[in-house]
Structure 1
Amino acid sequence: MVKELFPIAPGPAEDARRSLPLYRDIAWDRERNAPRWQDGEPVFAEGLEAVLTWAVNAVGTARYRWEQFSPDYGCSLAALTGQPYGEDTKLAEAERYVREALMVSPYITGVRVSGTAFSGGRFSMDLKLETIYGEVSFDV
């Protein structure tokens, strides 16, 4: 019989790590915005780097625009263009769209947003992803 009121149990990230296969994806060169190649073959990334690649591409892909992607993949940020919303509303909606795009992945357990801004018609946002492999930051 357990004598503790709250016995120690694995958390959601530990359960997910046990049940999900190691995530693999094509490695991505973010400066060139293109996949990495070596000797004519694609380079693969695993774990945290692969999840980051997926996240960057998911946020950068317009949702519902491309037939080859499921309706769950991509981000709806383009829907804010030309809308008569105030800046606060646009920032809140942009944050929501990015969270929705990223939380589709079972490898991502949380998204923290900071530094959102519209400047000269450009949108920027700093993100910290909590994944089953650890945390990683990137900007949109």
Structure 2
Amino acid sequence: MVDLITTVGSFPTTETTITVPKEFAWDFDNNDFLLVDGKFQIVTGKEALKVWIRKALKTPNSIYAAYSTDYGSNLDSLVGTRLSISLIESESKRIVWECISINTHITGMNNFSVNTTKDILTISFTALTDQGEVTITNV
């Protein structure tokens, strides 16, 4: 006869901890921390991932010693090129994915679109994360 209590008790127990992302709130219009009554604000979950993604995409890769060489993007490498819109879209999608995929909370990306008006490139997409979908517009 099998002793069920002994059998169940012999299975290893492992717990998976899902961390909730946290970031300082950021005012992208003024390119500065978002302060309330002079105090830094903390955002969590999807809002924190939105801050992290936008800051990572706007930070040039391998420029600032404060960040690892994995952090940041090379979107500025597209400036001044005379590439076709389809090649710009393909390259910007690759660059964006390389940038955001280092965050362990981000699992995928869809609805990627590129808009070029004169010399301005704007990118929008949806990041798939363990916190839910995060829509990024006009980066």
Instruction: State the match for 1:66 in structure 2.
Output: 64
Unmatched segments (≥5 aa) in structure 2 = 1-15
TM-score, length-normalised on structure 1? 0.80
* 46-55 or 76-85, larger mean C-alpha shift: 76-85
Verify: 1:114 aligned to 2:115, yes or no.
no
Shift of 1:94: 0.8
Cα distance in 2 between the residues matched to 1:119 and 1:49: 28
Higher relative contact order (CA 8 A, sep 6+): 1
**How many residues in Structure 1 have an aligned counterpart in Structure 2?**
123
Shift of 1:136: 1.6
Cα distance in 1 between the residues matched to 2:29 and 2:83: 32
Shift of 1:20: 3.5
* CA RMSD between the two structures: 1.5
Letter paired with 1:35: F
TM-score, length-normalised on structure 2? 0.80
**Contact conserved, 2:22 with 2:44, CA < 8 A, in 1?**
yes
Letter paired with 1:37: L
Cα distance in 2 between the residues matched to 1:79 and 1:30: 22
Shift of 1:87: 2.7
Unmatched segments (≥5 aa) in structure 1 = 1-17
Instruction: State the match for 1:46 in structure 2.
Output: 44
> Sequence identity of aligned pairs in percent?
25
1:1-40 equivalent positions in 2, closer than 5 A: 18-40=16-38
Post-superposition, which runs of at least 4 consecutive aligned residues in structure 1 deviate over 3 A?
none
Shift of 1:115: 2.6
**Contact conserved, 2:114 with 2:123, CA < 8 A, in 1?**
yes
Instruction: State the match for 2:89 in structure 1.
Output: 91
